[in-house]
Structure 1
Amino acid sequence: MRFLPVAAAIALAAISVSTSLSAQRADTAIDPRSMALLNRGKAAEAAGNLPGATDLIESALVVDPRNRGAFLELAVLAEKQQLPGKAIRLYREALLLEPNDVAALRGQGEAMVTKGALGPAKENLARIRTLCGKKACPEATALAATIAKGPPLAAIAPTKVPDKPDAAKE
């Protein structure tokens, strides 16, 4: 008799845990609404509407934050808008979802080169080469070419400090 309440509590706990686990989606299943918004965002991008595309793709991430494709597409949009810092962050978010994504590693490496960060870009290149192994890897070739080309002049040029006004003029 003493074990009946304990056994009933354990049975109820087991039922509630199994029910909640069966209701969860698999990690690889992306919400179809999120994919639809991503596709609409890509269409807006193709039409030249970058702000509209950004809004739609950000909405796709609100619907399903595990949509790695949306992070990658937002990173591409950030690069088109000459925002390499934002692109690096978005590629990092995609890499948190799939650490072995060579396209995200390449994109992040290219954005790093744009910012003038050659060291981290070379680390990404080494990681891509490790992931690709001995087979031909276009991502590694493209990132190596970007690194060899180097950062744009704006990233390496020192910023000019304005001259101090003369004390006699004041």
Structure 2
Amino acid sequence: MRLLPAALALAFAALSVSTSLSAQKIDAPVDPRSMALLAQGRAAAAAGNLEQATDLIETALAVDPRNRAAFVELAAVAERQQLPGKAIRLYREALLIEPNDPAALRGQGEALVAKGAMGPARENLAKIKQLCGKKPCPDAVSLTATIAKGPPPSAEPATKVPEAPDAK
């Protein structure tokens, strides 16, 4: 009698795991509705309407959260809005779906440089170079140039601590 609740809990856990695993194939194609919303979002971003682009691309992700291209595009929009922290997070989401995406690694590296995180940006560059091998790789060239340029002045850490006002 004492084992019955534990056995039932274990059976329900096994049933729920097997159900969730069979519900969605890992390599299933991205929902076409999500891709259509992504295309509309790209068009809005190209037209300079970043708010509408963000809304459309977020809707594309709500339709299909596996749409890696939508994460990459939304991160690019965040960078255009001067939000490198948000861009880094969105690129990370894309890299969770496909860790070997050179475009996402490049974008995340560029956003890291914008935040002043040069070490992690160099790590992304090394991953891109490893993925490209001996082939020419525009993503590696772009990230190399961004790293060489360095972070913007506002991203660099303060070297001087502000002094307290004199009390007279």
TM-score, scaled relative to structure 1: 0.80
Which residue is equivalent to 2:148? 148
CA distance in 1, matches of 2:90, 2:127: 18
CA distance in 2, matches of 1:101, 1:75: 14
Which 4+ residue blocks in structure 1 deviate beyond 2 angstroms?
23-28, 159-168
Cα 1:119–1:167, aligned 2, differ >3 Å: closer, same or farther? same
- Superposed CA deviations along residues 11-70 of structure 1, whole A, max 9, x for unmatched, are xxxxxx79x94x645534111111111111111112211101101100111111000011
Does residue 1:48 correspond to 2:48, yes or no?
yes
SS in 2 for 1:29: coil
Counterparts of residues 159-170 of structure 1 (less than 5 Å) = 163-168=163-168
Gap runs ≥5 in structure 2: 1-17
Residue identity (%): 71
Which structure is larger by alpha-carbon Rg, 1 or 2? 1
CA distance in 1, matches of 2:159, 2:34: 42
SS in 1 for 2:66: coil
CA distance in 2, matches of 1:148, 1:99: 24
Counterparts of residues 90-101 of structure 1 (less than 5 Å) = 90-101=90-101
- Superposed CA deviations along residues 121-168 of structure 1, whole A, max 9, x for unmatched, are 110011111111111111111111111111111111528765534433
Report the RMSD for the aligned CA atoms in angstroms: 2.1
Which residue is equivalent to 2:109? 109
Which residue is equivalent to 1:125? 125
Cα 1:24–1:107, aligned 2, differ >3 Å: closer, same or farther? closer
CA distance in 1, matches of 2:72, 2:126: 20
* Counterpart amino acid of residue 148 in structure 2: A
Q: Tell me the number of residue pairs that the alignment of Structure 1 and Structure 2 aligns.
A: 150
Gap runs ≥5 in structure 1: 1-16
